[in-house]
Amino acid sequence: MSAISHLDGPTARLAYAFTPGAGPTVVFLSGYKSDMEGTKAVHLEAWAKAQGRAFLRLDYSGHGQSGGRFEDGCIGDWAADAQAVIEAVMQGPLVLVGSSMGGWIACLLSQRLARVAGFVGIAAAPDFTEDGFWAEMTDAQKAEMMDSGVWYRPSDYGEPYAVTRRLIEDGRRQLVLRKPLPMPYPVRLLQGTLDEAVSRDTALRLLDHIDGDDVRLLLVKGADHRFSEPANLALIEAAITEVAG
C-alpha cells in the first residue's frame, strides 16, 4: 500500500495516500464512519497500481487516521476535506468513486471541480441525512436531537451512529436531489439488491436525476451494502475502466 501522508485541512489534520500514475486520477471517497483502510479502498489502490493508474484515497476529519472528532463533522465539512486533499495533492482530470456517503460527496464535488472526468457510485446515498435519518425518526427522537444536539441511531455495522443536529441542519444545505445535477461525462452507478442501508429506489432516483448523456445503473442481485465480495470488486474495476478509459 502507498504511504500515508498528512496535510492541514479546513478543520483538522487530514490523512491520505496518493499513488502516482497515469491519469485520470481515481479518487476513492469512503462512506459514513468508514475510512481509507476499508476493503474497497485498499483493493482498488492495489488494482490501480497494477494498472499504472494514479489513485488517491483519504480520510475525512473525524474518520480513520485524520484528526478531529466524528461527532463534530457534517457533510459540508467532509466534502470540503476531500476537496482540500484533491486540490493540494493532484493535478489534471479525475474520476470520483464514491461509496455510500462518498457518493453524495462525489455529487457535491462534481459541481465544484471543473476537472471531473467521470463518476462511479457504489450504493451512493445522496441526501441520506434528510431522506434517511430525519425521515425515519419519530417526533420524540427529533425533539430529543434538537434539544440535546444528538440522537444515537442503531447500526448494523457496529456502534450506534451519532446523528447530530448539526449533521441534519448542514445536510439540508448540501442536498443534491432537489436541484439540477449536471454530469456531462460517463457515470456508472452500482447497487446491490440486498442492500439494507440504501434502497434501489434511491439508486433509481439518482439515475433519473443526473443530467447526462452516458449514465447507467447496474443492479446486482444478491449484493449487500458493503459491495466488497470479489465479484463486486471486479464490477467496480470494470466501471472505473469504462469511465476512465
Q: Is residue 35 annotated as a catalytic residue, yes or no?
A: no
CA distances from 134 to 137, 141, 218 (A): 5, 9, 28
Helix extents (H) in 55-112: 75-89, 101-110
Beta strands in 59-212 (DSSP E): 94-99, 116-122, 150-153, 161-164, 181-182, 187-192, 210-211
Taking a C-beta distance cutoff of 8 angstroms, is the pair 108, 179 a contact? no
Q: In whole angstroms, what is the distance from residue 79 CA to residue 108 CA?
A: 7
Per the residue annotation, which of 59, 77, 81, 195 is the catalytic one? Answer: 195
Lay out the sheet containing 94-99: strands in order across: 5-8, 13-19, 53-58, 22-29, 94-99, 116-122, 187-192, 215-220
Q: In whole angstroms, what is the distance from residue 42 CA to residue 38 CA?
A: 6
Q: In this structure, how many other beta carbons lie within 10 angstroms of the beta carbon of residue 114? A: 7
The answer for 52, left when phi > 0, alpha when psi is -120 to 50, beta otherwise, is left
Taking a C-beta distance cutoff of 8 angstroms, is the pair 12, 66 a contact? yes
Q: Is residue 201 annotated as a catalytic residue, yes or no?
A: no
Using the structure block, give the residue that is written with the C-alpha cell 449533521: 167
Q: Is residue 30 annotated as a catalytic residue, yes or no?
A: no
Per the residue annotation, which of 77, 100, 110, 127 is the catalytic one? Answer: 100
Instruction: Name the residues annotated as catalytic.
Output: 100, 195, 225
